Structure 1
Amino acid sequence: MATLDECRTALEQLSAKFAASGNKVDLDRSLGCTLTDLGTGFHGRLKDSRIQDLADGDDPNAKIRLIIGSDDLVGLANGTLDGGKAFRDGRLKVKAGVFDLLKLQKLL
């Protein structure tokens, strides 16, 4: 099980990957990330293909919610876990509106 600090670092790495990917996604939404095995998570804002204002804790009103285990989040960030495969296998759940999901697909 990854630590909370490792998960924070993983989200920061994902943010950098999103920005560097060249897949600019026109989204400005609140983001929540629930870590299923740690019983906590993070929240921030997905804007300009980056995760901004990352903070500890949940945002129950987040428009986009990622639900993932801590080790899977770290794997997603370091490239050992493919986002599409994780989604298909149920290791990554994304709760968002249908149009937001279509846009997120470009990043994950």
Structure 2
Amino acid sequence: MIKAGDITRKERRHLAWSLPDEGWMMINTDGSVNAEEGKAAGGGLLRDHLGRCHEAFSMNLGNCTITRAELKGAETGVATTWRKGYRKIKLCMDSTTAISIIKNRDDD
């Protein structure tokens, strides 16, 4: 029997993609791992202030953790954007662990 105090409420939030400011490029990246096989992939999109896609990328990463897949997607997205000559970059990803690692790194 379930008691009233045992029920956990889930919070629902509506999330939507928003355009970057003019002159900025937005990189949206993600990573995934097949739980059964352990095989990972990562990828992303590079879009401008009008929402136009300038680049899409994906990669097979072999066996790795989800955090590693998320970080590799971010690394590839930033490197691709930088190589194309863009310097005003906004990186968007959904992994709080990967975001924390990026924010707390010691190197430049």
More helix by share: 1
Normalised TM-score (structure 1): 0.27
Normalised TM-score (structure 2): 0.27
Larger radius of gyration: 2
